[in-house]
Amino acid sequence: MSNTRTETSNVLVRFLKTKGSIVIFIVFWLCASLFVDNFFSLDNNLLIIKQAAIPVICCLGITVVLMTGGIDLSLGYTIGLSSIVVGIFVKTLHMPIPLSILLTLLVGLLVGIMNGVIIQVLKVPAFITTLGTGYVIYGLAQIVSSGSNINRLPANFRVVGVTPIGGLNTTVLIALCCCVLFYYLLHMSTYGRSLQAFGFNPNAAKMSGIDTPLLNISVYVLCSVCAALAGVLLTIRVNCAQPTMGNDMTFEVITSAILGGASLFGGIGTVIGSVFGVLSLKIIENCINLLNVSYYTYQAIQSIIIMLAIIFENVKNRKL
């Protein structure tokens, strides 16, 4: 009898360890439904999903980077750069929509290659590289835009992101596609396994024949392309291309990834965890809006959550 009990508790512990973010999400959702007026409605919940779609795309990118033990602090600025670039392509240069989106993703690709090459070839630590390149990208975005925004974008461009599909929109669909793609990449392909190996022990991964330089560059490329895609979708969502668009997003996305169980020390990270990490954070944001509390509180709460998540992860890995 006692044996089965320890077994169930073991299963419970393992579930908490691997699927903790789902539990957090359910707890948050239940609390919000019970205590916050107007939260428990279909419209509001669909709204949360719509709001979460864009951060989810970024969060998947940063999860991949975190799995290698790196970090990308330039992510938010890449969003801003791609936003203004796509705005210029579509509105000022009147380029065809697919081409301009493709070129914007190419800009993200270039940013990623820049980050990856500096980190891998020059061996500059990831956080200092991306801090520096972030500053550079931000400057570039400001120069490209000459400090002004581009609004009222063409309708045939906005169709890409805002076409409704049964209460949701195409942005959510795109995010879902990204999730499936990343699920395959991280959990079903050799790429994911080599990523995990690299995150836990880069030297061992190298010695077992994994092309680690390419792998290390590829994660930053993936992350920046995700950021560029998010920038395009965000531009469509707010109907305005701004160079400062994603500045607060870096921190939000890192917070959700950590909340979703990704480890700062590399090797650990799941798609499902990250998705629920974003959703949990968006529930808090939604509640703060519904309760009419100052938005600045959300920023402070984010920081406290990430701190708690890091402390908890540390304690978990040592004690449990």
Which residues in this chain contact other proteins in the complex, by CB under 8 A? 71, 73, 118, 122-125, 127-129, 131-136, 138-140, 142-143, 147, 251, 264, 294, 296-297, 299-304, 306-307, 310-311, 314
Collect all residues with Cβ–Cβ distance below 8 Å to 137 and sequence separation of at least 6.
74, 77, 78, 80, 81, 111
- Please say which residue, 93 or 311, places its beta carbon nearer to other proteins: 311
* Minimum CB–partner distance for residue 48 and other proteins (Å): 22
Burial class (CB in 10 A: 0-12, 13-18, 19+), 148: exposed
Q: Are 266 and 174 in contact (CB under 8 A)?
A: no
- Two structure tokens written together for 308: 């708690």
Closer CB to other proteins, residue 111 or residue 174?
111
Q: Name the residue nearer to other proteins (CB basis): 129 or 286.
A: 129
CB of 124 to other proteins, least distance (A): 5
Cβ proximity to other proteins, 34 vs 296, nearer residue: 296
Strand 168-169 and strand 164-165: the pairing is antiparallel
CA distance 169 to 98: 18
CA gap 197, 68 in Å, rounded: 9
Question: Measured from the CB of residue 80, what is the shortest distance to other proteins in angstroms?
Answer: 12
CA–CA separation, 99 and 104 (whole Å): 9
Nearer to other proteins, 40 or 135 (CB): 135
By beta-carbon proximity to other proteins, the closer residue of 13 and 304 is: 304
Closest CB to other proteins among residues 53, 140: 140
Q: Shortest approach of other proteins to residue 304 CB, angstroms? A: 7
Shortest Cβ 134–other proteins spacing (Å): 7
Instruction: Write down the least CB distance from residue 317 to other proteins, Å.
Output: 10
Pick the closest to residue 258 from 246, 271, 269 (CA basis).
269
Amino acid 139 reads G
Residue 135 Cβ vs other proteins, minimum distance, rounded to whole Å: 3
Per the listing, tokens 């938010």 go with 76
Q: Tell whether the torsion through CA atoms of 280, 282, 286 and 292 is positive or negative.
A: positive
Enumerate the β-bridge partners of residue 168: 165
